[in-house]
């Protein structure tokens, strides 16, 4: 099979997978994506492999480690290539005035630096990020010491080398890796102090005049200031990016907590897994606004949304204060539950207080807004399954017969009353006042004993 036939076959597979996705097959999204990836031209493979190797895997772009690791990979690659070229050229160069022993020692030093550079690059590409950056730090120390000792202090290179040595740890390690920064900086400082001793034992390769030495010193001084300013700028940028990342993470955290309960959000962030829990006894609350359809037909869209937002925001605040978990709103309906995701023994009591509080809030809305909107509330206690569904838009929801029964309690109730099932009544009858309704025909359930919740008993 030739390349054009293969490309046509991959393209056809991509189209077929896309068509399957439109029909809603369970794994259509992943199938379509894989087929489209296979249908890409083969000439892009090499570039993709190179980019894929240099991108820090497992790290997000906003991760504090992303930039140091990426910088380390690039620097290690450039250094490995450059030092190898220098080593190759050096083998063909005649060192005038060098003894055979000096040439041998120089070759050994250069060979060691080549090995360090390539070892650093290899470990970084193999995603051993910490080891790779440690090897890169050792390589920088070796090169700076070699160059500074070889050229001598008269050239001013030792001053630049000292600044570079001390600056390197802050470039290749993230600020949160404080232990690594301290150890690498200690190594750099020790190497910088050792430069003076080594320079006394080795004759420099370059001899300069007094005037050239002064100029070199001034040049090295200003270059060192520029390097220090550059490092300070990088750290300022890193701290600004860190603050921006923290603010964005806090914003994302708040958005997630607006969708999911804190305990569920923590489990979701811990890793991709199915979140589903069975709760043996919780109390579910359903509420529906009575007369809202008539109200919305005679008002502007802005007025409708304003009033509805005011009502549901007040319900949300009430639920938060009572420790009741809001599940969702559907149109002008409101659903909440007490007793999950963290179980609590007084779940029915909290749900009852929530229902009575909602009645009082609606009285305030009718008085302040001048609207005739009522509310019908239903409570039922029973077993449910709770979990998170969805991939792009998460939803925390409940399932089970108890959910359906609570919904029927609401629909079979009365405006501005709280209709309660027998199961919830049995838990609350000692602390709350009820009006028995007898047997009530409940859609899909037959006749059920129901009660109107009137309020709390006087203590």
Is the predicted pLDDT of residue 139 greater than 60, yes or no? yes
User: Three-state SS string across the chain, please?
Assistant: CCHHHHHHHHHHHHHHHHHHHHCCCCCHHHHHHHHHHHCCCHHHHHHHHHHHHHCCCCCCCCCCCHHHHHHHHHHHHHHHHHHHHHHHHHHCCCCCCCCHHHHHHHHHHHHHHHHHHHHHHHHHHCCCHHHHHHHHHHHHHHHHHHHHHHHCHHHCHHHHHHHHHHHHHHHHCCCCCHHHHHHHHHHHHHHHHHHHHHHHHCCCCCCCCHHHHHHHHHHHHHHHHHHHHHHHHHHHHHHHHHHHHHHHHHHHHHHHHHHCCHHHHHHHHHCCCCCEEEEEEEEEEEEEEECHHHHHHCCCHHHHHHHHHHHHHHHHHHHHHHCCEEEEEECCEEEEEECCCCCCCCHHHHHHHHHHHHHHHHHHHHHHHCCCCEEEEEEEEEEEEEEEECCCCCEEEEECHHHHHHHHHHHCCCCCEEEEEHHHHHHHCCCEEEEEEEEEEECCCEEEEEEEEEEECCC
Taking alpha carbons only, the member of 288, 432, 447 closest to residue 373 is 288
**DSSP β-bridge partners for residue 349:** none
> So what's the pLDDT on residue 414?
92
pLDDT at 289: 92
Q: Is the dihedral of CA 406, 359, 434, 455 positive or negative?
A: positive
Look-up of token digits 């005011």: 310
Contact between residue 56 and residue 70 where contact means Cβ atoms under 8 Å apart? yes
Tokens of 147: 């160059």
- Across the range 321-326, mean pLDDT stands at 90
Taking residues 315-320, what's their average pLDDT?
Answer: 90
280 or 81, greater pLDDT? 280
Share of the chain above pLDDT 70, in %: 64
pLDDT value, residue 154: 63
Q: What CATH number corresponds to the domain at position 283?
A: 3.30.70.1230
Query: What is the distance between the alpha carbons of residues 183 and 175, in angstroms, rounded to a whole number?
Result: 13
Give the angle 36-16-33 at the CA atoms, nearest 5°. 25
What is d(CA 275, CA 267) in angstroms, rounded to the nearest whole number?
A: 8
Mean per-residue pLDDT, 345-361: 92
Q: Is residue 260 part of a domain?
A: no
Mean pLDDT lowest for which of 129-143, 218-232, 251-265? 218-232
Question: For residue 447, what are the β-bridge partners?
Answer: 441
The answer to whether residue 45 is domain-embedded is no
Q: In which band, very low, low, confident or very high, does the pLDDT at 38 lie, cut at 50, 70 and 90?
A: very low
What sign has the CA pseudo-torsion 195, 196, 197, 203? positive
Q: Give pLDDT, residue 418.
A: 93
The answer on 285 and 213 residing in a single domain is no
Indicate if 211 and 86 belong to the same structural domain.
yes
Structural domain includes residue 52: no
What average pLDDT does the segment 225-252 reach? 70
* Bridge partner residues of 276 (DSSP): 387
Residue in this structure with the two tokens 């001034």, named with its chain if needed: 218
- Looking at residues 209-223, what average pLDDT do you find? 65
Same-domain pairing of 97 and 20: no
Query: How much is the pLDDT for 24?
Result: 39
Q: Is the same domain home to 182 and 329?
A: no
Question: Residue 268: inside a domain, yes or no?
Answer: no
Does residue 49 belong to any structural domain of this protein?
no
- Whether residue 101 lies inside any domain: the answer is yes
pLDDT of 23 above 50: no
What is the Cα–Cα distance from 338 to 346, expressed in whole angstroms? 9
More confident residue, 190 or 455: 455
> Token pair of 171, please?
């470039």
By DSSP bridging, strand 374-389 and strand 417-421 are: parallel
Q: Domain check: are 35 and 140 in the same one?
A: no
Count how many residues are written for the chain: 459
Instruction: Check residue 244 and give its pLDDT.
Output: 75
Domain assignment present for residue 218? The answer is: yes
Q: Is the pLDDT of residue 262 over 80?
A: no
* Contact criterion met (CB below 8 Å) for 198 and 161: no
Q: Is residue 375 in a domain?
A: yes
- Range in 21-35, 418-432, 441-455 the model is least confident about: 21-35
Least confident of 58-72, 83-97, 104-118: 83-97
Confidence at residue 208, expressed as pLDDT on a 0 to 100 scale: 57
- 323 plus 217 within the same structural domain: no
Report the C-alpha dihedral over residues 244, 246, 252, 255, rounded to 10 degrees: -110
Task: Report pLDDT for 125.
Answer: 73
Q: Is pLDDT of 17 > 80?
A: no
CA distances from 44 to 2, 37, 298 (A): 18, 11, 60
| pLDDT for position 350 | 93
The lowest-confidence range among 32-46, 245-259, 323-337 is 32-46
Top-confidence residue, 387 or 19? 387
What are the residues facing 381 on neighbouring strands? Answer: 283
Q: Is the pLDDT of residue 331 over 90?
A: no
Report the DSSP beta bridge partners of residue 399.
Answer: 385
* Predicted local distance difference test score (pLDDT) of residue 276: 75
Residues 125 and 22 in one domain: no
Q: Are residues 81 and 223 in the same domain?
A: yes
Among the three residues 220, 251, 282, which one is the final residue of a domain in this structure? 251
Does residue 236 sit in the same domain as residue 309? no
pLDDT of residue 62: 64
Write down which residue in 251, 285, 310 finishes a domain. 251
Q: Which residue has the higher pLDDT, 404 or 184?
A: 404
Higher pLDDT: 385 or 102? It is 385
Same domain, 85 and 8: no
Indicate whether 211 and 344 sit together in one domain. no
Q: How confident is residue 29, by pLDDT bands cut at 50, 70 and 90? A: very low
Asked if pLDDT for residue 380 goes beyond 70, the answer is yes
- Residue 428 has a pLDDT of 92
- Do 238 and 281 sit in the same domain of this protein? no
Asked whether the predicted pLDDT for residue 293 surpasses 60, the reply is yes
**Tally of domains in the chain:** 3
- Amino acid 416: pLDDT: 92
Q: In the predicted model, is pLDDT for residue 89 greater than 70?
A: no
Q: Which domain holds residue 332?
A: 274-456
Confidence of residue 132 (pLDDT cuts 50, 70, 90): confident
Residue 342, pLDDT score: 85
Q: Quote the CA–CA distance of 445 and 307 in Å, as a whole number.
A: 34
Q: Residues 11, 38: contact at Cβ < 8 Å?
A: no
């Amino acid at each position: 099979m030739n390349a054009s036939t293969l490309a046509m076959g991959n393209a056809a597979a991509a189209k077929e997978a896309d068509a399957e996705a439109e029909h809603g097959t369970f794994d259509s999204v992943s199938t379509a994506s894989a087929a489209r990836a296979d249908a890409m031209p083969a000439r892009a493979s090499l570039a993709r492999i190179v980019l894929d190797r240099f991108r820090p895997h497992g790290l997000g772009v906003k991760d504090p480690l992303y930039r140091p690791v990426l910088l380390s990979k690039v620097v290690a690659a450039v250094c490995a290539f450059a030092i190898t070229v220098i080593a190759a050229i050096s083998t063909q160069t005649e060192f005038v005035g060098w003894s055979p022993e000096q040439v041998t020692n120089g070759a050994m030093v250069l060979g060691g630096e080549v090995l360090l550079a390539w070892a650093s690059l290899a470990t970084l590409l193999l995603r051993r990020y910490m080891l790779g950056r440690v090897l890169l730090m050792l390589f920088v120390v070796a090169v700076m010491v070699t160059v500074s000792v070889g050229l001598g202090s008269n050239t001013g290179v030792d001053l630049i080398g000292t600044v570079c040595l001390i600056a390197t740890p802050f470039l290749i390690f993230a600020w949160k890796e404080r232990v690594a920064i301290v150890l690498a900086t200690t190594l750099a400082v020790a190497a910088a102090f050792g430069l003076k001793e080594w320079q006394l034992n080795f004759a420099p390769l370059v001899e300069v005049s007094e005037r050239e030495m002064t100029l070199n010193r001034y040049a090295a001084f200003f270059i060192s200031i520029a390097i220090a300013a550059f490092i300070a700028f990088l750290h300022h940028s890193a701290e600004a990016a860190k603050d921006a990342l923290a603010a964005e993470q806090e914003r994302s955290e708040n958005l997630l907590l607006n969708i999911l309960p804190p305990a569920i959000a923590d489990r979701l962030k811990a890793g991709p897994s199915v979140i589903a829990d069975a709760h043996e006894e919780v109390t579910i609350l359903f509420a529906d606004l009575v007369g809202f359809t008539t109200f919305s037909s005679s008002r502007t869209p802005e007025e409708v949304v304003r009033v509805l937002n005011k009502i549901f925001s007040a319900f949300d605040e009430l639920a938060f204060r009572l420790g009741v978990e809001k599940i969702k709103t559907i149109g002008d309906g409101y659903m909440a539950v007490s007793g999950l995701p963290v179980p609590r023994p007084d779940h029915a009591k909290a749900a009852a207080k929530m229902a009575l509080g909602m009645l009082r809030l609606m009285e305030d809305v009718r008085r302040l807004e001048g609207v005739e909107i009522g509310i019908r509330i239903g409570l039922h206690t029973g077993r449910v399954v709770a979990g998170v569904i969805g991939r792009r838009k998460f939803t925390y929801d409940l399932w089970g017969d108890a959910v359906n029964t609570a919904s029927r309690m609401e629909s079979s109730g009365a405006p501005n009353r709280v209709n309660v099932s027998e199961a919830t009544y049995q838990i609350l009858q000692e602390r709350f006042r009820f009006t028995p309704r007898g047997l009530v025909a409940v859609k899909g359930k037959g006749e059920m004993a129901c009660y109107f919740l009137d309020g709390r008993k006087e203590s």
